[in-house]
Every structure is written in C-alpha cells, then in structure tokens.
C-alpha cells in the first residue's frame, strides 16, 4: 500500500502532487495526481473530490487542463485524479485500439481471462485507491465526477456505492453504454460478449432504473449540444428518462449550446461542478 512521491508543485493554497504505487488490484505500477490543501493533516473530516478522466487520458489531463485547482483550494478540499487504465501490463493487443485497452479501462472489473488479472479499474478506484487516500490523508467524506468514459465511471460508482460518495456529477458521460458502440466494444471485450447481466452492472441508466437506496442521490450533468458523440455514444436522454421515473434520483441535465466534447467545455463549467460538490461535502 506504500505510495512514493514522484513530483510536487506549489499551487494556490496547497500542493499538486503525483504519486506512484504498486497496485494489488491491477498488478502493475500506477500513478495518480492529487491536490492537497495546506494543513490537511490538521483538518477534521477532510473532504475529497475524485475526478475520472475519459478515453486516452491519464492522471495528468484534468489536473493540468481543467482550471479546477483554484476552486478546490478555496473550498479547502482534496482533489484526486486516478489514471484511466493499467499501464505496462504488456497484454497482447492492448495498444491496438485507442478506445479499448490501455487508456480505456472503462472503470469495470474484467472477467474475460485475457484482461482479468489487470483490468480491474472499478475495484481500484472504489476500494484500493479509496482506502489509500483515506489512510494517507485522513479523508472522511468523498464525492465523485468525471468526463465521458469517466463520467460513466463516476455515475456507476455513485449509484452502486451511495454510502461512499456524497454527490456525483459528470461532463458528457456515456449514460447508456449497453446500447452504444463504445459501451458494447468495452463491456463485451472485458466482460464477455454474451454476459449481459454483467454489462448491466456498469450501465448508469440501467442502475438508475433499479436504484432503491436509502438516500436520495442528486446528480448534475452538463452536456454540450454540439458534442460530436452526443447521439451515437452518450445518450443523456436515456439517463434523464430513468431518473425522472425514480423518486430517489434527482437529475439536473444542462444542455449547453455550442459546446463540444473537449476541455474548453470542462473549463467553462468546472466551477459549477466543484461548488455543487462542496455543498454536499460541507
């Protein structure tokens, strides 16, 4: 469980740090970024906001591109940015496609033999790294958000673990992966083409339809209406319909005119998301 400091830089009222560690769930060395506010070790109930990145990204993308640290610093909370897949596993074919394999772990626990020893990003984020952060930084409360594939991961993790996360939001998430090409490729590849019951455990729309938790979940989703993947891959309307039918879920879906799928979109609305989570974490 030991983590090693790779780099650190002063930023606003805290430090941006990168750590590496040997992951037991992924069976390889992993890196992650954090923003740690000043005097974090003296804070009671230190809150932590997680961001899950999308296809092809690493732990570096959001923390360097999103312009989020100022708001996180002002809120006095920690930010955690994991990687999107195992690295250096040398699985045959894992680099053949940009949207499956390395950089595209899809936040599932793989069951297909080829991937099963390494591609367990669901367990890595919700258990292994979650526990590391709690122990190393004495965090007490957590919220989660993400973009695209990472938005899918954040929604799934919050719906399956409502006691672990105080709130959830997403930028342009893959909302109904069992019904779209990206989802079918990755769920089929990692879980098996005919294992539809397992697929449903990683589909936010399916989970929203079935959610029966004790606590109501508030969800914020921003989606650009000029997003090139909107109709083919993302399907926010499916999630909206599921949430409207479930009184335990409250979805605010904001269609943002003219925005597409990139980090300019995220930069524009990231403060709204951080403030949304601060309201739940504090």
Query: Which active-site residues does the annotation give?
Result: 148, 227, 261
- Three-state secondary structure of the chain: CCEEEEEEEECCCEEEEEEEEEECCCCEEEEEEEEEECCHHHCCCEEEEEEECCCCCCCCHHHHHCCCHHHHHHHCCEEEECCCCCCCCCCCCCCCECCEECCECCCCECCCHHHHCCCEHHHHHHHHHHHHHHHHHCEEEEEEEEECHHHHHHHHHHHHCCCCCCCEEEECCCCCHHHCHHHHHHHHHHHCCCCHHHHHCCCHHHHHHHCCCCCCEEEEEEEECCCCCHHHHHCHHHHHHHHHCCCCEEEEEEEECCCCCCHHHHHHHHHHHHHHHHHHHC
Q: Which residues on neighbouring strands pair with residue 33, listed in sequence order? A: 18, 81
The bridge status of strand 3-10 relative to strand 14-23 is: antiparallel
Buried b / exposed e over 46-59, threshold 16 CB at 10 Å, is: bbbbbbbbbbebbb
């Amino acid at each position: 469980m030991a983590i090693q400091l790779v780099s650190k830089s002063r930023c606003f009222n805290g430090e941006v740090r990168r750590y590496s560690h040997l992951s037991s769930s992924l069976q390889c060395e992993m890196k992650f970024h954090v923003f740690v506010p000043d005097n974090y070790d003296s804070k009671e109930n230190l809150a932590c906001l997680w961001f899950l990145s999308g296809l092809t990204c690493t732990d570096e993308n959001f923390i360097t591109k999103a312009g989020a640290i100022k708001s996180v610093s002002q809120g006095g909370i920690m930010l955690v940015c994991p990687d999107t897949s195992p690295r250096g596993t040398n699985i045959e074919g894992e680099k053949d496609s940009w949207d499956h394999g390395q950089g595209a772990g899809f936040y599932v626990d793989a069951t297909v033999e080829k991937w099963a020893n390494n591609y367990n990003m669901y367990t890595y984020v919700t258990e292994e790294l979650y526990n590391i952060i709690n122990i190393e930084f004495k965090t007490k409360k957590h919220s989660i958000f993400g973009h695209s594939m990472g938005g899918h991961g954040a929604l799934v993790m919050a719906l399956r673990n409502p006691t672990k996360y105080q709130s959830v939001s997403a930028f342009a998430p893959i909302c109904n992966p069992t019904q779209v090409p990206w989802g079918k490729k990755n769920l089929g590849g990692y879980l098996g083409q005919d294992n539809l019951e397992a697929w449903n455990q990683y589909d936010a729309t399916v989970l929203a339809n079935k959610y029966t938790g004790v606590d109501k979940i508030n969800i914020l989703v921003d989606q650009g209406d000029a997003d090139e993947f909107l109709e083919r891959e993302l399907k926010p309307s499916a999630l909206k319909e599921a949430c409207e039918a479930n009184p335990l879920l409250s979805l605010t879906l904001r269609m943002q005119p003219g925005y597409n799928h990139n980090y300019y979109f995220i930069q524009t609305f990231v403060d709204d998301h951080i403030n949304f989570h601060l309201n739940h974490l504090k």
